[in-house]
Amino acid sequence: MKARIHAPTLSNLQRLAAVLRRGGLVAIPTETVYGLAAHALDAKACRAIFQAKGRPANDPLIVHVLDLAHAEELAEFNDAARQVARRFWPGPLTIVLPKKSCVPGIVTSGGDTVALRAPAHPLARQLLRLAGVPLAAPSANPFSYISPTTAAHVQQGLGRRIRHILDGGSCTVGVESTVLDLANPSKPRILRPGAITAAQLAKVLKRKVPTKTRSAKSTARLLSPGLLDRHYSPRTSLRLTGRPAAGKLTALIFLRQPAGRQPANVYWLSQRGALDEIARNLYRVLREADTGGYREIQLEKLPATAGGLAAALNDRMKRAAAKL
Ligand code: AMP
Ligand code: MG
């Protein structure tokens, strides 16, 4: 059986909210990527997320809430966490904090911290409101494959393992949220770069916010599996390069649209190189190249200039290209 893709009508949203309340799974759009959602306080429902994704149990889930007030029911907030939540929620920022006892261990992989985010996507918010429960939702893809940014991507990856997909069109950010560890507020650190940058966080927190770069060991409980060396990866061998150049059976992905007519193996991530456009298109184009029957994909590296989405994009591109 294949999953149903539901148009975002009010009656469909009400039906899907009921599915979630009674422990079912629904793939939902968010502004970052599509998430595979379940009732976060229902351990059995959350276990089904791990099963559907083939996700190892040591890879904790992000819990989605409407706002700070709902988040405070699930975690012990400190002033620093309240400040960044007030500034960046709803939005692509996940905050890691000590969990309260109502959060089941399956969600946090047995750990004593929980990752929380208030999404900005209007459909995610409406579903949270209608369901009236927090929603655990990792990306709606088979573990370690490219994240989905359309309902069709979810269908391709999980269509035979889940029943419901809510269609919200294409994700507007296109890369996963920034994960900020504030369990110790005097030592904030970024576990995964995203659209909310270290500079933006440092400004609000009035201290440096380093990014943890060392990759996690897959045997230990993962601090942030987004930090696994290989993640977000196509099945086709992928090489990051300064200058994609034709080879037989090679897909070439450029940062900006090359001038003139291009052969079918040439792809691009933006018209003029704008980072937000590159982020929106990265996963879609990687998927297209991955299913094009090529022996190799060459992906053009970002230039060395930093700022904005550059850290998140460099991170995803490197991990997508990493070898097992
Ligand atoms: P995904 O939603 O599939 O993009 O993955 C969720 C991300 O949130 C992963 O990188 C997790 O490691 C991270 N995460 C979730 N819970 C925690 C936690 N308690 N501590 C650290 N990172 C977490
Ligand atoms: Mg993921």
Q: What domains sit in the chain, N to C, each tagged with a CATH number?
A: 4-205 (3.90.870.10), 237-321 (no CATH)
Beta bridge partners of 299: 240, 253
Q: Ligand 1: which atom is nearest the Cα of residue 94?
A: 8
- Compute the distance from residue 258 Cα to the ligand 2 centre, in Å: 31
State the pTM of this model. Answer: 0.94
Q: Ligand 1: which atom is nearest the Cα of residue 99?
A: 19
- Compute the distance from residue 55 Cα to the ligand 2 centre, in Å: 9
Residues with CB under 6 A from ligand 1: 60-62, 94, 96, 108, 111, 113-115, 138-139, 176, 179, 191-192, 222-226
Q: Ligand 1: which atom is nearest the Cα of residue 62?
A: 15
Ligand lying closest to the C-alpha of residue 177: 1
- Compute the distance from residue 67 Cα to the ligand 2 centre, in Å: 22
- Compute the distance from residue 115 Cα to the ligand 1 centre, in Å: 6
Q: Ligand 1: which atom is nearest the Cα of residue 192?
A: 10
Ligand 1 pocket mutation, candidates 106, 143, 179, criterion most atoms within 8 A of CB: 179
Average pLDDT of each block of 10 consecutive residues along the chain (324 residues)?
94 98 98 98 98 95 98 98 98 98 98 98 98 98 95 98 98 98 97 97 97 57 54 90 83 96 96 97 97 95 90 95 82
Q: What is the pLDDT of residue 215?
A: 54
Q: What is the pLDDT of residue 216?
A: 45
